[in-house]
Amino acid sequence: MREPRVGSLFSGIGGLDLGLQRAGFAHAFLCENNPYRRDLLATRWPRVPVFEDVRTFPAAGHVDVLCGGFPCQDLSVAGKRAGLGGPRSSLFFQFARCADALVGDGDWILVENVPGLLSSHGGRDFAVVLATLAELGFYDCAWRVLDSRHFGVPQRRRRVFVVARRARGRRACQVLLEPESGGGDFEASIAAWPNDPAASLSGLGTGGPDDNDGQAGRVIAVAIAENQRAEVLETDYAHQLSSGGGKPGQGYSAARTAQGVRRLTPMECERLQSLPDGWTDLGDTPDAPRYAALGDAVTANVSEWIGRRLYAAIREDR
């Protein structure tokens, strides 16, 4: 069987895409408006076309999966909450246009956004998202909020993921909702991360209770201790990385060491997003755009978990 092909819109620095690649998908294209992030994508995927603007994207051809995290600024509880009528989050409708052109019957989309999507305008904006997808034939649809801290990284980061198939049925629920673990068979859900110290049996991918605190100190040391001679004293999960700020308390978590409190380095933030060390460094990249990009990124371990289940569903269909 050929590798399933995925197309990516609003690609950022490729956190969603790296996870899908690890799960077995091959990329047909990427699309990103920010010049620095577009250069990074072209460096990390040198054989994949990288387009500049979703509004002028040609949307020709076919992919097995179309993925993307459309801009969240108008949906976030930290913003003005203009919703899908805002200038940035309204780009969802460009994603829908591309999905209509690129995704065939029985194929899939994967959408990522902040949990504020579910509550924006009292839930009406999310209803518009679902209605728009239904009008295009994506009747088989499921959504779920997943937290990165349950996927092998010590970061509290909740995001909503929508998986939909251009067909009728309940396959999307099987991909995203772990029905095999509903009766307490947690071994099935942890199988993807057997060696990750932060993955607990009852927490992995379920959004369940926080039962990892006993291990958190050891995981933090692995994830963020760039200076191996510094004793890492932090015993809790890092706060959610953000595209704003850059100082402790202004969008980025602090590492508390024997030498005092300092902000996380870009490399440590890469590790909190399960990205390879140096992923955001193009040789002479200043820290500021790296911090901003990492704050916007999808945790690759989360997208890999979804990707493996999606890959299995596609293989089963074939």
Q: Report pLDDT digits (tens) over 162-204.
A: 999 999 999 999 999 876 544 433 344 445 444 443 332 222 2
The pLDDT score that the predictor gives to residue 184 is: 38
Query: In whole angstroms, what is the distance from residue 121 CA to residue 136 CA?
Result: 23
Identify the band that residue 59 occupies on the pLDDT scale cut at 50, 70 and 90.
confident
| Residue of 31, 72, 98, 141 marked catalytic | 72
What is the rounded average pLDDT of the residues 225-250?
Answer: 46
pLDDT at site 211: 30
Domain assignment of residue 2, given as a range: 1-318
Mean pLDDT across the chain:
78
Return the HEC string of 194-244. Answer: CCCCCCCCCCCCCCCCCCCHHHHHHHHHHHHCCCCCCCECCCCCECCCCCC
Is residue 222 scored above 90 in pLDDT? no
Q: Residue 233 pLDDT more than 60? A: no
pLDDT at position 85, please?
Answer: 66
How far apart CA 245 and CA 249 sit, in angstroms, is 8
Does the structure show a pLDDT above 70 at 20?
yes
Q: What is the pLDDT of residue 169?
A: 94
Domain tally, the chain: 1
CATH of the domain at 256: 3.40.50.150
As a whole number of angstroms, the distance between CA 161 and CA 6 comes to 16
Whether residue 109 is predicted with pLDDT greater than 50 in this model: the reply is: yes
Does residue 251 register a pLDDT over 60?
no
Query: What tokens does 207 get?
Result: 């959004």
Q: What is the pLDDT of residue 72?
A: 66
Instruction: Calculate mean pLDDT across residues 287-293.
Output: 94
pTM, full prediction: 0.80
**pLDDT confidence of residue 288:** 93
**Residue 61 confidence (pLDDT) above 60:** yes
pLDDT, residue 42, reads 98
Is 72 noted as a catalytic residue in this protein?
yes
pLDDT score for 219: 33
